[in-house]
Every structure is written in structure tokens, then in C-alpha cells.
Structure 1
Amino acid sequence: MDVTYNRLFKLLIDKELNKTEFAKEVGISTNTLAKLSRNEFVSMEILVRICRKLNCTVDDIMEILPETRERS
């Protein structure tokens, strides 16, 4: 299963928020911010903190991508 956090970064742009400053306000590390940028999995606790800060739902900041099947 793959995820994307493009919605989060679009939301930050729409709200004119700097990624690094936002991460500090939420209390997430630069490593976690990098994971989000690379569309890697982060803990649910991190997602909840982000949603609380932005007053949104998880659907507003991430998307679960459909699985792709490899052909043999």
C-alpha cells in the first residue's frame, strides 16, 4: 500500500505556511518532515497532531493510493 501527503503540502501552500516552521509548531522532527516529503509512512500520532493543528481530517492531508500489481 502506498500513500501520498501531497494534500498536506497543498494545504500548507494554500494557508501560506512554511513547512519547516509548521513542523516546529506541530512538534515533529525534520526527519519526520522528510518522511512526509518522500511519502513514507509516519505514525498515526503524527497525523493526529497535524490534523489538530490544521483543524482538518486525515483525508485532508493524505491519500491512500491503489495498489498496483506487477505482471509476470
Structure 2
Amino acid sequence: MIKYIEKLVKKLKTSEKGQGMVEYALIIAFVAAIAIVALNNGLGQAVKDAFTGASNMVTSASNAAGTWATHKDT
């Protein structure tokens, strides 16, 4: 039984099966941690403000184009 356990431990030490998955999991955890820190430090509000500004500009341009098209037809 001891020989079997020693053989199993040796096999597990030399096996690279699953190593790539562990590396990907560590990378994902690192990126997630960085994202959480960045969003909690005000970056999230800055991104939200940028998208709100862009949305307002598109709405204004759309309204102006609609007004222009209405006046052009008359």
C-alpha cells in the first residue's frame, strides 16, 4: 500500500495534466481582482459618465437631424 501511495504521489508531481487550467484560473482571478479595485476607485463612475455623455450627444444629434429634415421638407 505504501508503494502504491509513493508511486501515486510521484506520478502527481510529474504530471502536467491540468496545469494549463490552473494557470488560466489564476490569470482570471488576477484580472478580476484588478477590475474590482479599478471600479471601486472611481473608474466605474468615469466610464458611466463617458457613456452618458456619448448617449446625450447621439440624442442631440438625432434630434437636430430630425429638426433639419423637417425644415428641409417645407
Q: Give me the TM-score of the superposition, normalised by structure 1.
A: 0.21
Greater helix proportion? 2
More strand by share: 1
Larger Rg computed on CA atoms: 2
Q: Give the TM-score, by structure 2 length.
A: 0.21
